[in-house]
């Protein structure tokens, strides 16, 4: 895929280069390019900007209590600014949302749902995992003493159940370890045969061929003498080792035929190295993803005013005013020197905002993800007890399910909450058109194909489709290459006294880290201006 040309015909800039990398390989390739240019993730600050000199009593309105808003409010108030925080919902956190017993959610045009989980059970309905390089997020976990735990983002002992393939493995739950071992075994066997026959001799220097063959033998579990793949203990034995006369591992399972694996399409789940933002081991906060907003709130000096829905923003050369309606239906306003607005662009573009025509146009220059989730509480952790599956995902090829994931917390407990579906795009739109009961039934039917215990153990549920959630109207920003070039730079700069921040103004869209780093960037600009 060719890189996009500079639309202005100028020299190929670093921004253009990075945006082209993003179009080709997403976040991972962007980060690699940033490192190559000398300002990659290792060079990025892991702490907020130093707001030297203090706020000198300047007033700032912060709109929204997601991680971007709470980051801005926390840092500005600590620097001496007089901060007012307005939030349209009756809770803090924005998309960093954890549903528990009693949580109430009403989607636009939909039913009101009350979470009916047991005490202690929850589902992270928005973000649910944290990569190791999200240094801003981890900075605040350390600062607040907020405990985190490991999130198992991949589990070779979990299942793949692809129904759209063909052959004897189609529609049959098989362990990912079996697919991984067999596909790599066959692939390395074929490559080893070519190397041994001299087909690639031109590629090797002295001694390299022998070392490469050693690697292939190790990687593919090939036999020592003839480099054949005949299976491996690691794909899963028929009988686990134990006491007595039965050796267990000596009875290894038989590899699947290569042609059956190819026809099944299950190989599509394999990657020898994980993507940068999808490592096999990640983090999650102990107790739910809403814990960082909660810790911000506990350490925040200004009062957060909930159920203050923004309707209008006006500004003059000397101040900015936000008009709102509170939970009692009363109109009000607040005036300050500056405003940091973290309202998603999907919502902000529909409000009455006094800004330049160019800025207003740019607000509509990005689309938002259609995405949904459902949490299914199970009265017994059968995936652990019956299948020895501890965390990770079950892979299916039904796009209306997307992902089924078992929890990485509460090990050996009695109950647990499974992520029953996680669709994106058009499949998420179809899910959102279902009633709450239909969503649950669809999720249970999909899980039943893999685990016969699924439906009989099902208890409460909680589902959400973010494109129908008030104050969000989408999961996360989805910039196109054209939008990044035409609109993104405009929104990074203030319009008058209005500054925008959030995951939508970062190259980490969909991640809390994007909101945190965006807030750091914008409050640094605001402070520099206010300090003059």
For each of the domains in the chain, give its residue range(s) and CATH number, in order of start: 1-43 (no CATH), 53-93+291-366+479-530 (3.50.50.60), 98-126+369-468 (3.90.660.10), 174-269 (1.20.1440.240)
pLDDT band at 233 (very low <50, low <70, confident <90, very high): confident
Which helix or strand (DSSP H or E) is residue 434 part of?
Answer: none
pLDDT band at 26 (very low <50, low <70, confident <90, very high): very low
Q: Let me know: does 123 contact 462? Beta carbons within 8 Å.
A: yes
**pLDDT score of 247:** 63
* Cα 119 to chain centroid, rounded: 26
pLDDT of residue 34 exceeding 90: no
* Cα 354 to chain centroid, rounded: 33
Report which DSSP code applies to 97.
Answer: -
Hey, what are 295's tokens?
Answer: 């810790």
pLDDT of residue 167 exceeding 50: yes
**pLDDT score of 246:** 65
Q: Let me know: does 279 contact 186? Beta carbons within 8 Å.
A: no
Higher pLDDT, 10 or 122: 122
Hey, what are 450's tokens?
Answer: 């893999």
Give me the mean pLDDT over the 135-146 stretch: 97
As beta bridge partners, residue 392 has: 406
| Helix residue ranges, H only, 449-530 | 454-457, 481-486, 488-492, 512-530
Give me the mean pLDDT over the 438-450 stretch: 98
Q: Which residue has the tokens 């969000």?
A: 472
Give me the mean pLDDT over the 445-468 stretch: 98
Give me the mean pLDDT over the 448-455 stretch: 98
Give me the mean pLDDT over the 300-308 stretch: 93
**pLDDT score of 41:** 41
Give me the mean pLDDT over the 42-47 stretch: 62
Q: Is 308 in a helix, a strand, or coil?
A: strand
Q: Let me know: does 59 contact 79? Beta carbons within 8 Å.
A: no
Where would I find the beta strands (DSSP E) of 318-447? 320-326, 331-336, 338-341, 352-353, 367-368, 372-378, 392-396, 403-406, 416-421
pLDDT of residue 24 exceeding 80: no
**pLDDT score of 329:** 97
pLDDT of residue 62 exceeding 70: yes
Q: Let me know: does 352 contact 313? Beta carbons within 8 Å.
A: yes
Give me the mean pLDDT over the 251-258 stretch: 86
Give me the mean pLDDT over the 280-292 stretch: 97
Give me the mean pLDDT over the 136-145 stretch: 97
pLDDT of residue 38 exceeding 60: no
pLDDT of residue 40 exceeding 50: no
pLDDT of residue 433 exceeding 80: yes
250-264, 436-450, 463-477: least confident range = 250-264
CA gap 213, 216 in Å, rounded: 5
Q: Which residue has the tokens 């405990």?
A: 147
Hey, what are 507's tokens?
Answer: 């190259």
Nearest to 492 by CA among 483, 501, 503, 482: 501
Residue 388, burial from CB neighbour count under 10 angstroms (0-12, 13-18, 19+): exposed
19-28, 122-131, 470-479: least confident range = 19-28
Question: How many CA atoms within 13 Å lie on the side-chain side of 43?
Answer: 10
The C-alpha torsion from 448 through 450 and 454 to 460, rounded to 10°, is -80
pLDDT of residue 511 exceeding 90: yes
**pLDDT score of 55:** 84
**pLDDT score of 19:** 44
- What mean pLDDT value characterizes the chain? 91
pLDDT of residue 273 exceeding 90: no
Triad 85, 108, 371: Cα angle to 5°: 85
């Amino acid at each position: 895929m060719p890189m996009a040309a500079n639309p202005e015909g100028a020299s190929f800039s670093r921004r253009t280069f990075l945006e082209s990398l993003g179009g080709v390989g997403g976040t991972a390739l962007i980060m690699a390019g940033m490192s190559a240019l000398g300002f990659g993730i290792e060079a990025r600050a892991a702490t907020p900007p130093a707001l030297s000199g203090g706020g000198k009593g300047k007033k700032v309105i912060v709109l929204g209590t997601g991680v971007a808003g709470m980051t801005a409010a926390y840092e500005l108030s600590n620097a001496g600014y007089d901060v007012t925080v307005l939030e349209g919902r009756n809770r803090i956190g924005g998309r960093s949302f954890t549903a528990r017993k009693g949580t109430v959610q009403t989607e636009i045009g939909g039913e009101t749902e009350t979470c009916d989980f047991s005490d202690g059970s929850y589902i992270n309905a928005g973000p649910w995992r944290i990569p190791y390089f999200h240094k801003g997020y981890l900075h605040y976990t350390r600062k607040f003493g907020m405990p985190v735990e490991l999130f198992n983002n991949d589990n070779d002992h979990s299942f793949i159940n692809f129904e759209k393939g063909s052959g004897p493995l189609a529609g049959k739950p098989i362990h990912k370890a079996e697919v991984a071992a067999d596909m790599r075994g066959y692939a390395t066997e074929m490559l080893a045969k070519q190397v041994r026959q001299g087909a690639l001799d031109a590629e090797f220097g002295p001694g390299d061929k022998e070392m490469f063959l050693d690697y292939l033998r190790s990687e593919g579990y090939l036999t020592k003498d003839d480099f054949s793949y005949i299976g491996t203990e690691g794909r899963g034995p028929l009988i686990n080792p134990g006491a007595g006369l039965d050796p267990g591992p000596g009875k290894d399972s038989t590899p699947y035929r290569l042609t059956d694996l190819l026809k099944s399409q299950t190989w599509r789940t394999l990657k020898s190295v994980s993507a940068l933002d999808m490592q096999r081991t990640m983090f999650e906060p102990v107790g739910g993803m809403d814990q960082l907003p909660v810790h911000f709130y506990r350490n925040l000096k200004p009062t957060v005013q909930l159920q203050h829905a923004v309707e209008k923003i006006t500004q003059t050369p000397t101040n900015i005013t936000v008009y709102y309606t509170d939970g009692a239906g009363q109109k009000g306003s607040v005036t300050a020197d500056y405003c940091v607005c973290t309202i998603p662009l999907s919502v902000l573009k529909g409000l009455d905002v006094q800004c330049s025509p160019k800025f207003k146009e740019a607000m509509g220059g990005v689309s938002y993800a259609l995405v949904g989730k459902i949490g299914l509480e199970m009265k017994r952790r059968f995936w652990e007890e019956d299948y020895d599956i501890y965390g990770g995902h079950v892979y299916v090829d039904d796009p209306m399910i997307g992902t089924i994931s078992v929890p990485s917390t509460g090990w050996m407990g009695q109950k647990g909450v499974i992520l029953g579906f996680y669709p994106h795009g058009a499949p998420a739109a179809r899910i959102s058109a279902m009633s709450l009961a239909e969503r649950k039934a669809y999720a249970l039917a999909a899980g039943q194909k893999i685990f016969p215990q699924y439906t009989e153990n099902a208890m409460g549920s909680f589902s959400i489709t973010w494109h129908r959630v008030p104050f969000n109207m989408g999961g996360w920003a989805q910039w196109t290459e054209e939008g990044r070039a035409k609109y993104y730079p405009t929104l990074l700069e203030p319009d008058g006294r209005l500054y925008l921040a959030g995951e939508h103004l970062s190259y980490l869209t969909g991640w809390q880290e994007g909101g945190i780093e965006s807030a750091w960037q914008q409050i640094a600009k605001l402070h520099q201006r206010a300090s003059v």
